[in-house]
């Protein structure tokens, strides 16, 4: 199960379990919320959702274990509890309640991973696009798929990973989240940002020009919003491939740059 949709499920489960007295509970007992988070894998229908997405056998057990480890990490749970308290006290808008509950530290933590880990993570994001229909891929690239549908689509695509790949993917996710609790995201300097933008643009132009459907791809990149899903999917995969083909400092800067898009 992808991490961000999992956290959305976590928030919804807490809201359902805690009920109308949540504000008072949140203010009075941070530890109680942390303990509740640790029990979510037993309370929330996580297993049912995983099974519905196609997880079976060892992959199902691994995904459940990933959920349990994440929610029983008191550093991470403490962060979530503090965000919930801020939400219920009115210090955090409902608009960021689900997507913003943990996404900021998740995105920050990725920037502190080693380069091989960053590359592996983004390779898995690219591989997910191959595990779904072209239409769904295009809608995700365009950013027009509904969150609930995207959760299910990504979960189903994730089931195509091997057990070994899933194990590494989940480990890197948990590491990124822990890093994000205590560290601000790494930022490119204006000079480095301008340099990597130019490097990416040059590499992308060269790759597009080498493709048989170069003109079609160029039109898609020029107006992604109006592109058909099949066109957007092809463009998204090609863009990811261009980034992942880079090496060394160019690769690191490109992956940091992706985090700002």
Per-residue pLDDT reduced to its tens digit, 141-152: 999 999 889 889
Of 116, 114, 92, 115, which is closest to residue 104 (Cα–Cα)?
92
- pLDDT exceeds cutoff 90 at 140: yes
b/e map 60-78, b = 16+ CB within 10 Å: bebbbebbbebbbbeebbb
For residue 186, the model assigns a pLDDT of 94
- The whole-angstrom separation of Cα 22 and Cα 88 is 7
In whole angstroms, what separates CA 198 from the centre of its chain? 26
Q: Place 82 in a pLDDT band, splitting at 50, 70 and 90.
A: confident
CB atoms within 10 A of CB 109: 22
For residue 32, the model assigns a pLDDT of 82
Q: Hey, what are 208's tokens? A: 């597009």
Of 243, 246, 122, 256, which is closest to residue 192 (Cα–Cα)?
256
- pLDDT exceeds cutoff 50 at 95: no
- pLDDT exceeds cutoff 70 at 14: no
Residue corresponding to tokens 């309370």: 43
- pLDDT exceeds cutoff 90 at 189: yes
Most confident segment among 29-43, 76-90, 146-160: 146-160
**What are the strands, taking DSSP E only, across the chain?**
none
28-52 confidence digits (pLDDT tens):
678 888 888 888 777 777 888 899 9
Q: Per-residue pLDDT averaged across 219-241, rounded?
A: 96
For residue 128, the model assigns a pLDDT of 98
- The whole-angstrom separation of Cα 111 and Cα 213 is 34
Residue corresponding to tokens 């491939």: 241
Least confident piece of the model among 142-151, 156-165, 191-200: 142-151
Query: In this prediction, what percent of the chain has a pLDDT beyond 90?
Result: 63
- pLDDT exceeds cutoff 80 at 159: yes
Determine contact, residues 90/96, Cβ cutoff 8 Å: no
- pLDDT exceeds cutoff 90 at 211: yes
For residue 100, the model assigns a pLDDT of 58
Q: Tell me how far apart the terminal alpha carbons of the chain are, to the nearest angstrom.
A: 23
- The whole-angstrom separation of Cα 232 and Cα 138 is 5
Q: Per-residue pLDDT averaged across 76-81, rounded?
A: 87
**Global confidence as pTM:** 0.85
For residue 2, the model assigns a pLDDT of 46
């Amino acid at each position: 199960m992808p991490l961000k949709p999992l956290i959305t499920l976590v928030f919804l489960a807490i809201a359902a379990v805690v009920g109308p007295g949540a504000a008072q509970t949140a203010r009075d007992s941070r530890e109680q919320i942390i303990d509740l988070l640790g029990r979510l894998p037993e309370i929330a229908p996580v297993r049912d959702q995983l099974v519905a997405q196609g997880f079976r056998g060892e992959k199902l057990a691994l995904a459940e274990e990933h959920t349990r480890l994440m929610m029983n990490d008191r550093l991470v749970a403490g962060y979530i509890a503090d965000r919930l308290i801020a939400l219920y006290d009115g210090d955090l808008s409902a608009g960021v309640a689900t997507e913003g509950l943990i996404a900021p530290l998740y995105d920050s933590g990725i920037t502190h991973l080693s380069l091989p880990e960053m590359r592996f993570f983004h390779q898995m994001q690219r591989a997910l696009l191959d595990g779904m229909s072209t239409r769904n891929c295009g809608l995700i690239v365009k950013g027009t798929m509904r969150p609930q549908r995207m959760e299910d689509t990504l979960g189903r695509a994730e089931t195509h990973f091997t057990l070994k790949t899933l194990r590494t993917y989940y480990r890197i996710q948990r590491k990124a989240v822990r890093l994000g609790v205590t560290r601000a995201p790494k930022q490119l300097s204006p000079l480095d940002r301008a340099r990597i933008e130019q490097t990416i643009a040059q590499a992308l132009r060269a790759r597009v020009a080498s493709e048989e459907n170069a003109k079609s791809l160029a039109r898609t990149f020029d107006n992604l919003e109006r592109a058909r899903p099949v066109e957007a999917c092809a463009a998204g995969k090609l863009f990811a491939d261009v980034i992942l083909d880079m090496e060394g400092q160019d690769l690191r800067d490109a992956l940091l740059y992706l985090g700002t898009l």
